[in-house]
């Protein structure tokens, strides 16, 4: 083989000289500084995002905590109405056909009057379903809490559908019951109600309507109890996550 030409040898000598003169340690240091700068900037950005997410999560949990605290007493109030109906009305129906038992029924105002009472919708009956649709549930880092809120949303949605059916039942069953209801307003604007049970129980249509409404109250009682239990569980978990005094671990 022929030796490389003088021109090529000269080029190789120049390249070798350039490489020997290069400050490789300085170059390595520059690369290291740039790399560390990029990594530090990335970490600062990630830290800021994590901090913002934690703030959003806490704000979101505070909202849920307020909602559950508001919803619990309202659910208890509704359950108390169902409880009274489930205590009063079976006594009346059991007395049907027995004048002595009918005469022994409590004569106080309000006995059985909650049977067809229009009940207010519970607090945030559909808000939790809308919450899940919004995607904000992903802000919760606690998986157990996230599941509890999701279960509560499902219970609230079910309760809303049952409440709508209850209102339809009231509309349908109220006409045969109306003749036996007496509603007055006191001087204090307090609504007072009495029912002529002896006449109502003697009327087949009214007695059947009473039975249907009693069944609907029993269903609503079960629905409200289930929702209340899930609401209390979510409220307790939120209280612990937020460090509230009422947290019970």
> Do residues 116 and 210 lie in contact, with contact meaning Cβ atoms separated by under 8 Å?
no
Give me the tens of pLDDT residue by residue for the chain, a chain 249 residues long.
455 566 666 666 665 665 566 655 665 666 777 788 778 877 787 777 778 888 988 988 998 898 888 889 989 999 999 999 999 999 999 999 899 999 888 876 678 888 888 776 655 554 666 676 777 788 889 999 999 998 998 888 888 888 888 999 999 999 999 999 887 766 665 557 888 999 999 999 999 999 999 999 999 999 999 999 999 999 999 999 999 988 887
The residues spanned by each domain of the chain are 6-242
> Do residues 137 and 220 lie in contact, with contact meaning Cβ atoms separated by under 8 Å?
no
pTM, to two decimals = 0.75
């Amino acid at each position: 083989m022929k030796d490389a030409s003088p021109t090529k040898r000269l080029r190789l000598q120049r390249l070798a000289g350039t490489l020997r003169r290069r400050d490789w340690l300085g170059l390595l240091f520059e690369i290291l500084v740039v790399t560390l700068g990029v990594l530090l900037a990335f970490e600062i950005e990630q830290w800021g995002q994590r901090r913002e997410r934690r703030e959003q999560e806490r704000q979101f949990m505070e909202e849920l905590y307020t909602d559950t605290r508001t919803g619990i007493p309202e659910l208890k109030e509704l359950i108390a109405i169902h409880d009274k109906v489930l205590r009063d009305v079976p006594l009346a129906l059991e007395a049907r056909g027995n004048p002595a038992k009918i005469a022994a029924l409590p004569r106080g105002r309000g006995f059985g009057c909650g049977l067809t009472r229009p009940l207010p919708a519970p607090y945030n009956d559909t808000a939790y379903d809308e919450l899940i649709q919004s995607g904000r549930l992903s802000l919760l880092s606690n998986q157990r809490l996230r599941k509890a809120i999701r279960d509560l949303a499902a219970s609230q949605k079910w309760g809303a559908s049952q409440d709508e059916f209850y209102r339809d039942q009231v509309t349908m069953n109220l006409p045969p019951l109306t003749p036996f209801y007496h509603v007055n307003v006191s001087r204090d604007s307090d609504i007072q109600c009495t029912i002529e049970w002896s006449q109502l129980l003697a009327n087949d249509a009214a007695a059947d309507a009473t039975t249907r409404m009693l069944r609907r109250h029993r269903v609503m009682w079960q629905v409200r109890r289930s929702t209340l239990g899930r609401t209390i569980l979510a409220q307790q978990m939120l209280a612990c996550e937020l460090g509230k005094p009422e947290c019970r671990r």
